[in-house]
Every structure is written in structure tokens, then in C-alpha cells.
Amino acid sequence: MKIAKRILVTGGAGFLGSNLCERLLKENHEVLCVDNFFTGARSNIATLMSNPGFELLNHDICIPLNAEVDEIYNLACPASPIHYQQTPVQTAKTNVTGAINMLDLAKLLHAKILQASTSEVYGNPAVHPQTESYWGHVNPIGIRACYDEGKRCAETFFFDYYRQHRFPIKVVRIFNTYGPRMSLNDGRVIATFIVQALNGEPITIFGDGNQTRSFCYVDDLIDALIRVMDTDDAFTGPVNIGNPHEITIANLAQLIKELVGSKSAIEFRPLPDDDPRQRSPDIALANSQIGWRPVTDLHEGLLLTISYFDKMLANNR
């Protein structure tokens, strides 16, 4: 039986954070959810508020934080281009200053800390699929750099703190994830396609649609985060977490259209700057270190996500 812990989750009212908080509470841990609600939503944690083990703190992690906790999951940061490109300076600060503040807290407490890094550290990759040993191909001054380079810099601080101060760290590189509690205006491809299909609007594909992505259902992702946190201190990562099954964006649009039963037309738009052509994780390390592979089929996960968005749209009508 696991020992109950007090666990801090930054970005805890976000898509991934709220799902993680819910899972940790189900495992009988106490959860301190920290969020400034820039992209997080109170509706994501509404069902958790009555749980006596749940505590909410409205706080920006760019400001130092004091708390007594056993573990820290650092998930705070806008993850959608539509959000982080609106406030690039604040995004970079959240990635870097926020990470430093959480590392300082972990150092003070000698608490285990997990950094939610991203597949965006690989940029527009010249290696496919991406392994953890690949250093990436990132534009440091492009419109995505506040997020891409911010996450890369956060990884640097995590490993420098680890080498200098010797407290337990974990770094996971999260690939495209989807599922319930994504925002209606998320801007990422699955959310956008589903909302467009449900509303009968044109489904907009940027580029020729031949670029590929791989999509991991949120429950599988949360399972991996907890498994990584539970490894012994010798394992730091970075470790890729994602679904290695690739699909083209054009095929994804057609699949969502069919699952929704939509008559939406499919339209093509110019490709944004620095948008990667291919993205798929090599998950051999996750499989060997934590015995993890995603188990949710894309069709199954999309149906669950479509049902969630359908209810959300109905409530907003």
C-alpha cells in the first residue's frame, strides 16, 4: 500500500493538472493545487473542491512559494500556441522563473520534483522518431521560442540543481495529449477539429495535412507521470511520454469528422512558422524503466473526448 503524501501540483486547474489532482486524490494523497487561472479553469476542479484532501491556492509560480509538501509536480505553463504566443514574455518567465522557484522549494524541503517538459524541446526534428538523446532542432528566436526554449532552459536548471544540490528530480517530455477537460478554445488540433465538427464549421488544416502527430489519451499520460515520480532517485529522465502511433493531420480531420457524423467541409490554410513536420516519441525508455505503454486506442479516446466537448458546447448554448 502506498504511503499517503502531501503533493503540490502547479497548474493544477489546467487540463493535465486537474486530471492529475483527481488521480492523486483517488490514491488517498493530499493535494495542494496551485494555479493563477491564466489558462486553468475552476470548472476543471469543481468536483474536487469538496474533497477534504484537496486545497486550492491562487498563485503565480513566478512569485516564490512556501509550502510543506512531500512531492512537487511542476505543470504550470500555457501549453497551447494560441495562448503562449499571446503572452510570450510571461510564458518564458513561467517556464524559467517558475521552474527555479519550484526547484528552490524542492531543495529546501528535499522533496522529489517532477518537471513536465515537452516534445517541443525537439523542435522541427531531424531525427524520427525522437529519442531522449536527440538534442533537437529549435529556432531560438521564433514565435514558439518562449515555450520551446523556455522548456529547454527549465530542463537545464533541473539538471544543474540536481548536479549541484543532489535532491531527487524527474523530467518527462510530454508529447501531444488529449481528452476531457481540454479547453474549448485550446487552439490545439484535436480540440479545434472536434469543436469545428460539432458546430458544423469548416475543419481547418494548416499546411498540406501530410504532417504527422501522435496522440496520447490523458488517462495514459497521468498514469505515466505517477509511475515516473514513483521511480527511485537514481532515475531522473528525461523520458518521453506519448503514443508512438502516428497519424497525418488530414487523416485525423477525416476521422474526427466521421466519428462526430459531421458534414463539415475540410479547408486548408497556410502553415504557421516553425510548425514541426513530424512528431512521434520513441518510448523504449519509458517501457523499460516504468513498464509503461499507452493502452487507449485513438478511436476510443476520441469518442470520449467528443462526448465531453459535446456536453460543454451544449452547456454554453
pLDDT of residue 64: 97
Annotate the chain with three-state secondary structure.
CCCCCEEEEECCCCHHHHHHHHHHHHCCCEEEEEECCCCCCHHHHHHHCCCCCEEEEECCCCCCCCCCCCEEEECCCCCCHHHHCCCHHHHHHHHHHHHHHHHHHHHHHCCEEEEEEEHHHHECCCCCCECCCCCCECCCCCCCHHHHHHHHHHHHHHHHHHHHHCCCEEEEEECCEECCCCCCCCCCHHHHHHHHHHHCCCEEEECCCCCEEECEEHHHHHHHHHHHHCCCCCCCCCEEECCCCEEEHHHHHHHHHHHHCCCCCEEEECCCCCCCCCCCECCHHHHHHHCCCCCCCHHHHHHHHHHHHHHHHHHHC
Fold type of domain 6-179+217-243+275-295: Rossmann fold (3.40.50)
pLDDT of residue 155: 98
More confident residue, 3 or 189: 189
Percent of the chain with pLDDT over 90: 80
Q: What is the pLDDT of residues 210-264, one digit of tens each?
A: 988 999 999 999 999 999 999 999 999 999 999 999 999 999 999 999 999 999 9
Please check the confidence at residue 1 and state whether its pLDDT lies above 60: no
pLDDT band at 274 (very low <50, low <70, confident <90, very high): low
pLDDT of residue 270: 86
Catalytic residue among 147, 162, 178, 217: 147
pLDDT band at 3 (very low <50, low <70, confident <90, very high): confident
308 is catalytic: no
Q: What is the pLDDT of residues 13-38, one digit of tens each?
A: 999 999 999 999 999 999 999 999 98
Q: In the chain, where are the structural domains located?
A: 6-179+217-243+275-295
Q: What is the pLDDT of residues 58-112, one digit of tens each?
A: 999 999 999 999 999 999 988 767 667 788 899 999 999 999 999 999 999 999 9
Q: What is the pLDDT of residues 155-177, one digit of tens each?
A: 999 999 999 999 999 999 999 99
